[in-house]
């Protein structure tokens, strides 16, 4: 007698989140169904007993497993470990310090089956301390099947490639079979940038729905966004991968402009926040920023930076040198 595969696999990477996993696991209990599986990837935590907490807490879930990396590999690698183990028709992601509203996963599955698309994206709730704010996916067309490529442009507006959060959605297994769901191993930050670009360039269909059941915790001290070490600089590799993969796209000329705009926005943000970096990392950030900006032509930069704002424009102009005559 054959065993029917799960409808949904939820992949939960965990690293130094012992104090948060009780809330995370409880939220999954409030979404648990017989045909769901939960895969927790413990990425060799160094500061707490995340692994031991997971072993105890996940006993209450009907179908779960906890796997532990031999060495810390970073978020991209942890997600890939979960992807390799997943058996579900659909895949979803949740970070180990975030949580879901009751019944949210069932609504996700209903949405992807109702619209019969490759993937579905959702809004999310950002949590900073006791404050909560809804962040909408930047696509106004809701509850209908769309071509993912149509949501990449325009260049100077926020679009779906500016909303890369893997945990804000659900993905059909056929994307994995086409090589579209895995992340670039070893990326410590911005791992979702090449991933979201590849998804929107190569998938056939998607939909955006107004679900607000995933709660994204900001300001967690163990998060890489709060740590000013060299791992933060992986965003250079991430965007260079985006640009390299775009080179063979039939619409490379149009899409490259958007990717360069994204790249410049992130470079400017990191430079303006450079005080949080260790001194040697800040120096490396400036060097890599100058190199990245100088790989772009004057015309490319001129188009990418129009309307970016005086502060960011001045910062990028100073780091690269030149770039006169670009409107802020």
- Residue at a domain's end among 189, 224, 259: 224
Q: Which residues contact 75 (CB under 8 A, 6 or more apart)?
A: 13, 15, 43, 95, 183, 187, 188, 189, 191, 224
269, 273, 279, 285: CA torsion to nearest 10: 0
How many independent structural domains does the chain possess?
2
Range of the domain at 115: 8-224
Task: Note the pLDDT of residue 221.
Answer: 53
Q: Are 222 and 47 in contact (CB under 8 A)?
A: yes
Residue 229 pLDDT: 79
43, 71 contact by CB (below 8 A): no
Order of strands across the sheet that contains 8-14? 64-68, 36-42, 8-14, 90-93, 169-172, 119-122, 206-209
Contacts of 250 (CB under 8 A, 6+ apart): none
**Residue 110 belongs to some domain of the structure:** yes
168 and 234, same domain (yes or no)? no
163 lies in a domain?
yes
Residue 327 lies in a domain: no
pLDDT given at position 321: 79
Of 190, 224, 258, the position where a domain reaches its end is 224
Give the pLDDT means over successive 10-residue stretches in the chain (328 positions).
84 97 98 98 97 98 98 96 98 98 98 98 97 97 98 95 98 96 94 98 98 92 60 96 96 96 95 92 95 94 88 89 53
Residue 179 forms part of a structural domain: yes
pTM of the model: 0.93
Taking CA atoms, 70 is separated from 38, 67, 73, 189, 222, in Å, by: 20, 10, 9, 20, 20
For residue 296 the two structure tokens come to: 């772009």
Domain identity same for 150 and 275: no
Contacts of 122 (CB under 8 A, 6+ apart): 108, 137, 168, 169, 208, 209, 210, 211, 212, 213, 214
Output the pLDDT for position 314.
87
End-of-domain residue from the set 192, 224, 256: 224
158: in domain:
yes
Q: Cis peptide leading into 129, omega within 30 of 0?
A: no
Other beta carbons within 10 Å of 205: 15
CATH classification of the domain holding 66: 3.90.550.10
Please check whether residues 243 and 200 belong to one and the same domain: no
Looking from the CA of 67 toward its CB, the CA atoms found within 13 Å total: 18
């Amino acid at each position: 007698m054959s065993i029917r595969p799960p409808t949904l696999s939820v992949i939960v990477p965990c690293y130094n989140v012992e104090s948060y996993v009780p809330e995370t696991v409880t939220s999954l209990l409030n979404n648990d169904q017989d045909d769901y599986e939960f895969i927790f990837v413990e990425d060799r935590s160094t500061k707490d007993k995340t692994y031991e907490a997971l072993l105890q807490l996940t006993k209450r879930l009907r179908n779960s497993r906890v796997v532990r990396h031999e060495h810390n590999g970073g978020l991209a690698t942890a997600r890939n470990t979960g992807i390799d183990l997943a058996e579900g028709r659909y895949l979803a992601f949740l970070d180990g310090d975030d949580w879901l509203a009751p019944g949210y996963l069932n609504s996700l599955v209903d949405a992807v089956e109702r619209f019969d698309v490759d993937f579905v994206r959702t809004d999310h709730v950002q949590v900073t301390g006791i404050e909560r704010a809804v962040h909408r996916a930047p696509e106004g067309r809701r509850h209908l099947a769309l071509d993912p490529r149509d949501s990449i442009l325009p260049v100077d507006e926020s679009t779906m490639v500016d909303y890369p959060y893997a945990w804000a959605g659900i993905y059909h297994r056929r994307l994995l079979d086409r090589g579209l769901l895995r992340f670039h191993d070893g990326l410590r930050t911005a791992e979702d940038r090449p991933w979201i670009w590849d998804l929107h360039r190569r998938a056939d269909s998607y939909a955006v729905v107004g679900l607000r059941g995933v709660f994204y915790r900001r300001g967690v001290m163990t998060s890489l966004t709060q740590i000013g070490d060299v791992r933060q600089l992986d965003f250079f590799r991430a965007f260079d991968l985006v640009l390299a993969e775009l080179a063979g796209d039939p619409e490379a000329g149009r899409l490259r402009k958007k990717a360069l705009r994204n790249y410049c926005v992130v470079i400017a943000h990191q430079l303006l926040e450079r005080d949080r970096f260790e001194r040697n990392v800040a120096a490396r950030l400036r060097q890599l920023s100058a190199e990245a900006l100088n790989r772009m032509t004057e015309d490319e930069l001129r188009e990418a930076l129009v309307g970016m704002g005086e502060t960011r424009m001045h910062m990028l102009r100073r780091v690269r040198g030149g770039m006169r005559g670009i409107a802020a």
